[in-house]
Amino acid sequence: GAVVSQHPSWVICKSGTSVKIECRSLDFQATTMFWYRQFPKQSLMLMATSNEGSKATYEQGVEKDKFLINHASLTLSTLTVTSAHPEDSSFYICSARDPGRNTDTQYFGPGTRLTVL
């Protein structure tokens, strides 16, 4: 139980293009999802908190116009990296809470490797 999936698992794009990453909770409804970014050999950095039906809350220093987050349903949140540049290349990981199981536990997706050429 409490499975979170991400799609795609990896993506390569040209500089200036936009990329959309999907995060789905497969067997539970997630009112809250989180998006993290992780650079090689570093920890997870929280980018934003996404609540279903409302605007995402972004962490300080994260450009909300560049990283568009949409949480349109209780099982799907999307992260769109707009006008991607090589410095946006990173490992993007989403997580979700299952309020029916434990309101604190965050279950993580497998991650999406983004490479911007």
Partner 1 sequence: QQQVKQSPQSLIVQKGGISIINCAYENTAFDYFPWYQQFPGKGPALLIAIRPDVSEKKEGRFTISFNKSAKQFSLHIMDSQPGDSATYFCAASRPGYALNFGKGTSLLVTP
Query: Which of these segments, 14-22, 60-68, 79-87, 109-117, binds partner 1 (CB under 8 A)?
Result: 109-117
Nearest CB to partner 1, comparing residues 43 and 54: 43
DSSP 83: S
Query: Which of these segments, 12-20, 61-69, 72-80, 104-112, binds partner 1 (CB under 8 A)?
Result: 104-112
**Distance between start and end Cα atoms, the chain:** 37
Q: Which amino acid is at 47?
A: M
Query: Interface with partner 1 includes 68 (CB under 8 A)?
Result: no
Out of 3, 11, 13, 46, the only residue in the binding site for partner 1 (CB under 8 A) is 46
Burial class (CB in 10 A: 0-12, 13-18, 19+), 23: buried
Tokens for 38, please give them. 């992780």
**CA quadruple 48, 36, 79, 107: dihedral positive or negative?**
negative
Query: Interface with partner 1 includes 107 (CB under 8 A)?
Result: yes
User: Which residues are near partner 1 by CB under 8 A?
Assistant: 4, 6, 34, 41-44, 46, 49, 91, 93, 95, 103-111, 113
